[in-house]
Structure 1
Amino acid sequence: MSRTLPMTEPLPGQPDRVTIYEVGPRDGLQNEKSVVPTHVKAEFVRRLLAAGLDTVELTSFVPQKWVPQLGDAEELLDELGEIGTGRQRPVLVPNERGLDRALQRGVTSIAIFGSATETFARKNLNRSVEESLQMFAPVVKRALDAGAWVRAYVSMCFGDPWEGPVPVEQVVDVCSRLMDLGCDQLSIGDTIGVGTPGHVHWLLDALDDAGIGPEQSAVHFHDTYGQALANTMTAIGRGVRVVDASTGGLGGCPYAKSATGNLATEDLVWALDGLGIEHGADLDALVRTSTWMAEQLGRPAPSRVVRALAGG
């Protein structure tokens, strides 16, 4: 593998460091048609950690019939042992039953997954937005009472395949109500990848005006229209310091067929390196990991940086 380095040219107002919230093992793999063996998932996590990614979302405690790919959550955590239960190893839980399963395995960080739109709330959780908020309330309370860290995802923040453009005030209302439950962090999701930098800027402004500042926020962009990295850099310029990404650019959503891969971790790292922003990840190790995972899946990694550095 040839090794090319970007020139480092910082920009005014950029942060010294960004936290990469790696979602590859969960969001990256959840939409794969063939079930990835548990031991392969565990090795994937180990490789990501060895590459310097401190925060890795491991799996989801959803019923297997909902997302067959993630039906081995307990087995995965058992195989990972102590490295799977630290503060920086979140798991997704949809409800109290999922929380029970996670806590029984010693999980100390959880995420819940809400929606800014009614249609996707129905398709993803079989509930209205209001009903889903009522469902999340005891989950968050019990998790916090157990000493866990809690993240709230909000999907369809920029557009919905059934409802079209989503009004900013609608997104802010759902985000505010989730954060009012006591969540520690908000992840703003562009589930189908339709957002653009101006939209990102104004949504972050509106959230800030509502009392949800960039220090509480993360961004989660899909690259359907090639905008994920541009949107991410806009968010970083607005003060966001946590960015969701998936090694190799893997990803999708089983309940939104127009959702393609996530922002590739390698593409993000390349951009951060060019700005002189610290992140802690080893790009060469990430490329090797993505190349290995692509072999397990039987297809090339979507990441352009992986393809460039791995020679195609």
Structure 2
Amino acid sequence: MCWPTNLGWVMGPILLYSCFLTGATLALYHGSPLGRGFGKFVQDAGVTVLGTVPSLVKAWKSTNCMDGLDWTEVRVFASTGESSNVDDDLWLSSRSYYSPIIECCGGTELASSYIQGSPLQPQAFGAFSNKSMTTGFVILDDHGNAYQPDDQPCIGEVGLFPIYMGSTDRLLNVDHEKVYFEGMPKYKGMRLRRHGDLIKRTVGGYYVVQGRADDTMNLGGIKASSVEIERVCDRADESVLETAAISISPVTGGPEQLVILAVLKKGHNTAADELKKKFTRAVHANLNPLFKVSFVRIVPEFPRTASNKLLRRVLRDQMRRELSLQSKL
């Protein structure tokens, strides 16, 4: 088993513990997983279970660095840390006879995942097939009420049942109750635990993570998640490696403005104005014709956490300062 991670993130301890528990062999690679060297290690070590992060897969696919390598020993892929892209998942699965990709979503404070795929069920790219064992949760509407019945298609913030094996019950430097429970609604007498994910339950009963609830934006009175906008914009032009969607409130007041930041593939120099036109057309055709792309910025890379998660909050602060400075000028 091989899974690029670190011990400061939940996947590190889970990887070590699960390998010792099951007797699996842990494959250790010294170096960056972004390049061909890592791919050759996966090939030469005969890795059968390969864990990934979606941005890693996107980098492998866009740079073609894994071309010619034999990953057919891989029986199953796994993915966590970010929302997956269906096209990238299809590419990854094709590296080993279209092996399944097991999606996992949870958190360090839970010491596990609360939704994930199961090898016993049919899997869909970029989606989760089931709640994790012992996990209970509901999806909340805009008024904090749980959608009923609990198998209907819907989208909203997830509310976890408070009794959860392995979850934290105290924090070192902040109030645990305030962080995870204050302001959360009750369900069947239980105060729900806050996790912060926005998820969609599909017609077929699968779950799709739409990003963080605090990344939700209000565009013309309509709620939209950063992830769904990014999925559309990522496919709008072949020069785009990845995008980040944020909303900014104008300094002078008024409705939130949609800002798309883009990282281009190597060798491409598409202008921001051209991308703005393409992003606008894609958003109108696939999401809502009322959504307006106000600004497009091309950047060399995105700020990320140690576990490679995109820091939209940092991008939002940077753009807010930039627009504030322009307003003063």
Relative contact order (C-alpha < 8 Å, sep 6+): which is higher? Answer: 1
**Structure (1 or 2) with the greater helix fraction:** 1
Fold equivalence (TM over 0.5): no
- TM-score (structure 1 length as normaliser): 0.30
Greater fraction strand: 2
